[in-house]
Structure 1
């Protein structure tokens, strides 16, 4: 019975996501933005990446910086919809067990982004390398499959990070107003100032899995683990908020 209840609750959460244009659109944008920017960039300046001497595997996932914004938006919108017009009271009337409701919500958010994110990273990698000619990487090259799979995990963790914070702040706008500038601007500024301490920021740590030759104090696995800790902390804070605060 508990397993059946969990499956039914997760299914109801999936129905909510499909019915909300904002959340479904954000999920689609994870794929569309990443693959679209990848094709545009590699079709125009892809070969110059070879001449620059940078990590070519990391360069293959340049557009993931745009896809992760969509993943954050998906996680935030999927949760914030519960705090509009008394929707949470309706959800809790259907699923009185708040732990079950919140677990199903976060599981669906993470699962959806992992599935779409993994499809996105493999597609973006193959599409981008199609423009590289003899210099193209393949999935058989060291670290390529790991980066594609890890990229899907990374996007899922970032979506869960946003989802947990949204459960605390109860506003997608507030969460995105914090996270988007942080990832696009503050993280780079802190990196220049804080040195190796910046390796432990959620985006910098998780993106180590995208590198062929990781740099800094973290490797691919430990980097994802650090991002997972950030996401877990946010999800736990959201769980506490959903359990303790009025609907």
Structure 2
């Protein structure tokens, strides 16, 4: 089967499954809505903040506060894109139609990544502009130093979270098992490791903590992270590449 036919086939699969479309929509709505709410609360609390906190006040990053929950929907999207075929048994039919397993997997990931990138970028820009509208006099402008990088970085971050989840789902082959590992990892374990002094140095190299650095414009006063925004994104990309290589290696090795 030609590469264009495989891509068209994967596009048809993704858009025909309602759950994948809904999870992308949920990721956008949750990220934007929470960003608006937290931006509004931050505006109301700004005058009560201690001077130290005002020095670290990052209006751009605040507008992305909803991404903490929005990324969970991106994880579900990534897992469903790859894992659905295993749970339904359709994987055997798909691999019979496309025996080149590498072409099959990376066509699926390419189509889903493109879709996640479009949704992620739109979500990031909308969250930024609406969040800044809520912040009033404390808002940032898109032309301010580092702001455009942070907004584009927000879209890239959401996309990479989804692609990392695709790689993990390809390795584990089970949507339930993949979600059972990824959800606690990002929502609990990463936060615990990042907030406990003894494990902070480990936590900062996890994909979500490193990747979220790209969305920061103002560096917190007590931040001792040894890498900058692009360095953090590069660490996240390495995690994604490792997950994809793992997924590809296992798909090549074992039966459907």
TM-score normalised per structure 2: 0.90
Match of 2:166 among 163, 166, 170: 163
In structure 2, the CA distance between the partners of 1:49 and 1:21, relative to structure 1 (3 Å rule), is: farther
Contact 1:76 1:163 in 2 (8 A): yes
| Deviation at residue 197 of structure 1 after TM alignment | 2.7
Where does residue 200 of structure 2 map in the other structure? 195
Render the CA deviation track for 1:30-54: whole Å, top value 9, x for unaligned. 2111112222333444442574423
- Does 2:39 correspond to 1:42? yes
Deviates more, 1:211-220 or 1:201-210: 211-220
Render the CA deviation track for 1:135-190: whole Å, top value 9, x for unaligned. 21111112111111111111111111111111111112211221222222211221
| Deviation at residue 19 of structure 1 after TM alignment | 0.8
> 5+ unaligned residues in a row in structure 1: which ranges?
none
- Does 2:72 correspond to 1:69? yes
Within a 5 Å distance, the mapping from 1:96-115 to structure 2 comes to 96-115=99-118
- Does 2:151 correspond to 1:142? no
Render the CA deviation track for 1:4-41: whole Å, top value 9, x for unaligned. x2222112111111111111111111211111222233
CA distance in 1, matches of 2:127, 2:46: 16
Where does residue 212 of structure 1 map in the other structure? 217
CA distance in 2, matches of 1:241, 1:233: 12
- Does 2:98 correspond to 1:95? yes
Contact 1:114 1:153 in 2 (8 A): yes
- Does 2:23 correspond to 1:33? no
Contact 2:38 2:63 in 1 (8 A): no
Where does residue 61 of structure 2 map in the other structure? 58
Match of 2:251 among 238, 242, 245: 242
Contact 1:60 1:125 in 2 (8 A): yes
In structure 2, the CA distance between the partners of 1:153 and 1:97, relative to structure 1 (3 Å rule), is: same
Match of 1:223 among 223, 226, 232: 232
Contact 1:49 1:59 in 2 (8 A): no
In structure 2, the CA distance between the partners of 1:49 and 1:112, relative to structure 1 (3 Å rule), is: farther
Find the residue that maps to 2:182 and give its secondary structure: helix
Contact 2:3 2:103 in 1 (8 A): yes
Count of matched residue pairs = 244
Find the residue that maps to 1:96 and give its secondary structure: coil
Where does residue 19 of structure 2 map in the other structure? 22
TM-score normalised per structure 1: 0.93
CA distance in 1, matches of 2:87, 2:136: 51
Contact 1:202 1:230 in 2 (8 A): yes
Contact 2:38 2:62 in 1 (8 A): no
